[in-house]
């Protein structure tokens, strides 16, 4: 998504000729799911994509090396009008037979074909986001690196959002692609109604371990898989569902909530999971007590289902990491990491990172866990700090690595501070894969509570729906000894309940996210994008944005995030000529922090909606831009200047807009997502274009307000059929900064 539009718009009557239609902003194509969502090294197989606005799909773009794909075919869903035409044809043939006529073999074939097509129409996906189909042929090279790839396709309207495809090493079993039966279909993208499991279940599919199972969950069903296991095997079955599709905007809770049940040969349940710690995707571990046949069952927790309820299950005597300790180490130094899990070949590994950041850790093709590197001194929490009298003395700044080993346990740390000294205490646990739901409390020597925090939201952790890490920022009132105490709010504990506790003076900094991750723009045109500033430790300064190593002809307008603001809409303009393939573009932010210039690369992200209401910034790998078609060397409608517009509270200011002579007479302009209190008051025709008057409402637009003004351009032309004027979006003008004084 590129942002949200407010309902209030101000319109100006001026006009375009119909030739401007060619520059209308394209509707971005979208992929809703991929099935199967991965494959094995050294294999070739078909992948079906469900999406929207993907007509004319012609090319596939994959991140990383060793994986290739081509478009086999595109299937557009039948429209209701086409279905009615088929029904009329079927009715005519049936009436002919009713009157005693004998249908020819060709007519019988036509009748059978119509019935099949109408049945397919009834089974079409209920959600528009997955109604169209593109079938790919994918080849994974024998030496392709295991892991995730981002897949996009190129279509007539541009490139799609990225979606994940997994490269594996195990044999794969893939069920035939499914569609929701008509009786269970729902309209307008609503999650299908809950249904009980049917009495007559399909027989289980036979698989051989180890393997990866690919399937789609249909409503009111449970998929079952039968296999033979030997006594003494340590089985692991790990489902991957929400990991593949982080958020489904029109489903509740916003993802496929898978459950796994393991049964023995007598049908007795021997293991069950509907999650793994805080992860929605379940993992089952089972020590096989006897040789025999076992059955693994998967279904949605409330028996929902849809074409995009895609899953992959890795099952066998597989290595699986359940936790690590510590969760990070000091950059530039080797850190010995203890491993917890099942079927692991090692008990410890050594990690070494050169710079601050988060890497991933795995062993023997196991699952991956995050591992953090920082520059502060590091210490390990002692075991005897469960009481204030036994508090571990620490010297700031530092990072403490610890774990709440027992349910209900508290950890206490003490340090000396001065009056007026600023302090930050922050827990990194849930963001690093730990199940710990932390709570932090700061007290003075007498035990008086000075500050406390349970959950601190980090908008950069886009895959977390429960922000469970804690953070305290506080100014010490006097010289003395202070205590920080830490525990789990649910009074849980265990070897996996690890944490990293940073106690230091504030270290102001920022991160950037840019959306959407895939940008489509006409040659010579302009589109809005959104940049989010994730400010750390009280940093409030201005951030200057610029394109880095961009191909010639690309330009950005309005690239300054004002001090104190966390979100900015700006614009990206494309060169007039078409670019043959999507190009990777980088965006960088620069700010002055403590007298030094800090540069941070913007991470491409998708603004995903969960369960109709909640929004999450989900990080992607590449920011890709596709330029479609060719445009004029100079836009026929453009601002005279992109210099900042200054308004006084309650006052007005002009914007000059150039309009090509051939376009005089039929244009409408609207402020796109106008800042509160800023509106267009009037317009006047002037030589060469328009003079637009802006007004700042003194009750809403306060002095100091800064940002960008983005104008959407519409054309309005006569419609002979409707005896009225038809209005269409043509494009967007480059962003113009503004300031209220």
Give 66-81 pLDDT, tens digit per residue: 999 999 999 877 777 7
Give 34-92 pLDDT, tens digit per residue: 999 999 999 999 999 999 999 999 999 999 999 999 999 998 777 777 777 878 788 88
Collapse the DSSP code of 512 into the 3-class scheme (helix H, G, I; strand E, B; otherwise coil) and give the result: strand
Tokens at 376, concatenated: 């502060």
pLDDT given for residue 669 in this prediction: 86
Residue (of 657, 670, 736) closest to 10 by Cα position: 670
Give 100-130 pLDDT, tens digit per residue: 888 888 888 888 877 777 677 666 676 888 9
Give 485-516 pLDDT, tens digit per residue: 999 999 999 999 999 999 999 999 999 999 99
Give 577-608 pLDDT, tens digit per residue: 877 789 999 999 999 999 999 999 999 999 99
How far, in Å, CA of 248 to CA of 250, rounded?
6
How far, in Å, CA of 603 to CA of 532, rounded?
10
- Low-confidence winner among 1-5, 141-145, 337-341, 589-593 (lowest mean pLDDT): 1-5
The topology under which CATH files domain 18-24+636-740 is Immunoglobulin-like (2.60.40)
The answer to whether 433 touches 498, Cβ cutoff 8 Å, is no
Query: What is the percentage of the chain residues whose pLDDT exceeds 70?
Result: 91
Instruction: Please report, for the chain, the start and end positions of each structural domain, with discontinuous segments joined by +.
Output: 18-24+636-740, 78-123, 320-374, 383-457+466-500, 510-628
pLDDT given for residue 617 in this prediction: 97
Q: What is the mean pLDDT of the chain?
A: 90
Collapse the DSSP code of 83 into the 3-class scheme (helix H, G, I; strand E, B; otherwise coil) and give the result: helix
How far, in Å, CA of 462 to CA of 196, rounded?
33
Indicate the pLDDT class of residue 722, thresholds 50, 70 and 90.
low
What CATH architecture is 510-628? Answer: Sandwich (2.60)
The answer to whether 631 touches 523, Cβ cutoff 8 Å, is yes
Say which residue, 737 or 124, is predicted with more confidence: 737
- Low-confidence winner among 106-120, 322-336, 437-451 (lowest mean pLDDT): 106-120
Q: Do the strands 449-453 and 411-417 form a parallel or antiparallel pair, or are they unpaired?
A: unpaired
pLDDT given for residue 320 in this prediction: 98
Give 545-587 pLDDT, tens digit per residue: 999 988 899 999 999 999 999 999 999 999 998 777 899 999 9
C-alpha neighbours within 13 Å on the C-beta side of residue 447: 3
| Cα dihedral 460→461→463→464 (10° resolution) | -140
The whole-model pTM stands at 0.89
- Residue 604: is the preceding peptide bond cis (ω within 30°)? no
The pLDDT of residue 195 is above 70 = no
pLDDT given for residue 475 in this prediction: 97
pLDDT given for residue 122 in this prediction: 67
- Low-confidence winner among 24-33, 152-161, 490-499 (lowest mean pLDDT): 24-33
Query: What is the percentage of the chain residues whose pLDDT exceeds 90?
Result: 74
The pLDDT of residue 521 is above 70 = yes
The pLDDT of residue 1 is above 50 = no
Asked if domains 18-24+636-740 and 510-628 share a fold, the reply is: yes
3-state secondary structure 588-656: EEEEEECCEEEEEEEEEEEEEEECCCEEEEEECCCCEEEEECCCCCCCCEEECCCCCEEECCCCEEEEE
How far, in Å, CA of 77 to CA of 93, rounded?
24
Mean pLDDT for 144-163 is 95
Collapse the DSSP code of 431 into the 3-class scheme (helix H, G, I; strand E, B; otherwise coil) and give the result: helix
The pLDDT of residue 198 is above 60 = no
CATH of region 383-457+466-500:
2.60.120.380
């Amino acid at each position: 998504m590129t942002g949200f539009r407010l309902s209030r718009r101000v319109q100006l009557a001026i006009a375009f000729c119909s030739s401007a239609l060619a520059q209308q902003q394209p509707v971005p194509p979208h992929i809703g799911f991929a099935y199967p969502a991965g494959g094995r090294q050294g294999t070739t197989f078909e992948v079906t994509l469900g999406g929207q606005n993907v007509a004319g799909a012609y090319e596939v773009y994959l991140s990383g090396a060793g994986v290739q794909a081509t478009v086999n075919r595109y299937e557009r869903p039948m429209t209701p009008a086409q279905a009615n035409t088929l029904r009329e044809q079927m009715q005519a043939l049936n009436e002919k037979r009713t009157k005693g006529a004998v249908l020819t073999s060709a007519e019988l074939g036509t009748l059978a074909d119509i019935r099949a097509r109408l049945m397919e129409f009834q089974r079409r996906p209920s959600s528009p986001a997955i109604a169209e189909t593109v079938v790919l042929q994918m080849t994974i090279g024998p030496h392709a690196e295991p892991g995730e790839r981002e897949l996009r396709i190129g279509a007539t309207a541009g490139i799609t959002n990225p979606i994940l495809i997994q490269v594996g090493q195990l044999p794969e079993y893939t069920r035939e692609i499914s569609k929701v039966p008509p009786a269970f279909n729902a309209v307008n993208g609503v999650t299908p109604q809950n249904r009980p499991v049917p009495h007559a279940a399909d027989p289980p599919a036979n698989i051989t371990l180890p393997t990866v199972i690919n399937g789609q969950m249909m409503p009111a069903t449970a998929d079952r898989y039968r296999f033979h296991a030997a006594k003494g095997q340590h089985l692991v079955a790990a489902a991957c569902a929400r990991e593949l599709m982080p958020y489904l905007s029109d489903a509740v809770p916003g993802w496929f909530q898978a459950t796994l049940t393991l049964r023995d040969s007598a049908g007795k349940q021997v293991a069950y999971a509907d999650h793994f710690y805080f992860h929605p995707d379940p993992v089952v571990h089972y020590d096989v007590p006897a040789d025999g046949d076992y059955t693994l069952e998967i279904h949605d927790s409330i028996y929902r289902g849809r074409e995009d309820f895609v899953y992959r299950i890795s099952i066998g005597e597989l290595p699986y990491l359940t936790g690590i300790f510590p969760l990070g180490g000091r950059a530039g130094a080797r850190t010995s990491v203890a491993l917890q899990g099942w079927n692991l070949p090692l008990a410890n590994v050594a990690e070494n990172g050169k710079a601050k950041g988060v890497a991933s850790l795995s062993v023997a093709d196991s699952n991956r866990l995050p591992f953090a590197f920082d520059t502060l001194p590091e210490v390990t929490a002692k075991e005897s700090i469960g009481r204030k009298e036994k508090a571990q003395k620490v010297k700031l700044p530092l990072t403490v690595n610890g774990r709440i080993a027992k349910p209900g346990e508290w950890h206490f740390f003490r340090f000396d501070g001065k009056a007026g000294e600023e302090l930050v205490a922050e827990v990194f646990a849930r963001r690093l894969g730990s199940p710990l739901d932390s709570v932090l409390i700061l007290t003075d020597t007498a035990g008086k509570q000075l500050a406390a925090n349970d959950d601190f939201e980090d908008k950069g952790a886009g895959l977390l729906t429960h922000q469970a890490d804690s953070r305290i920022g506080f100014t010490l009132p006097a010289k003395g000894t202070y205590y920080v105490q830490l525990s789990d709010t649910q009074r849980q504990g265990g070897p996996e309940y690890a944490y990293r506790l940073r106690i230091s003076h504030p270290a102001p900094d920022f991160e950037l996210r840019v959306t959407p991750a895939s940008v489509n723009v006409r040659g010579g045109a302009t589109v809005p994008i959104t940049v989010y500033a994730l400010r750390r430790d009280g940093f409030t300064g201005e951030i200057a944005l610029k394109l880095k190593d961009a191909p010639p002809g690309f330009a950005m307008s309005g690239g300054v995030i004002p001090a104190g603001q966390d979100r900015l809409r700006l614009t990206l303009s494309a060169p007039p000529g078409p670019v043959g393939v999507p190009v990777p573009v980088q965006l960088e932010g620069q700010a002055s922090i403590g007298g030094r210039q800090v540069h941070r690369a913007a991470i491409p992200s998708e603004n995903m909606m969960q369960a109709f209401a909640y929004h999450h910034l989900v990080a992607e790998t590449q920011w890709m831009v596709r330029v479609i078609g060719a445009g004029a060397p100079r836009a026929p409608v453009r601002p005279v200047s992109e210099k900042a517009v200054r308004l006084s509270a309650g006052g007005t200011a002009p914007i000059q807009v150039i309009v090509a002579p051939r376009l005089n007479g039929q244009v409408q302009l609207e402020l796109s997502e106008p800042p509160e209190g800023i509106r267009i008051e009037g317009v006047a025709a002037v030589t060469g274009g328009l003079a637009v008057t802006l007004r700042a409402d003194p009750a809403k637009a306060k002095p100091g307000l800064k940002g960008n003004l983005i104008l959407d351009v519409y054309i309005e032309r006569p419609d002979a059929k409707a005896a009225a004027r038809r209005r269409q979006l043509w494009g967007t003008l480059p962003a113009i900064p503004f300031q209220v004084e």
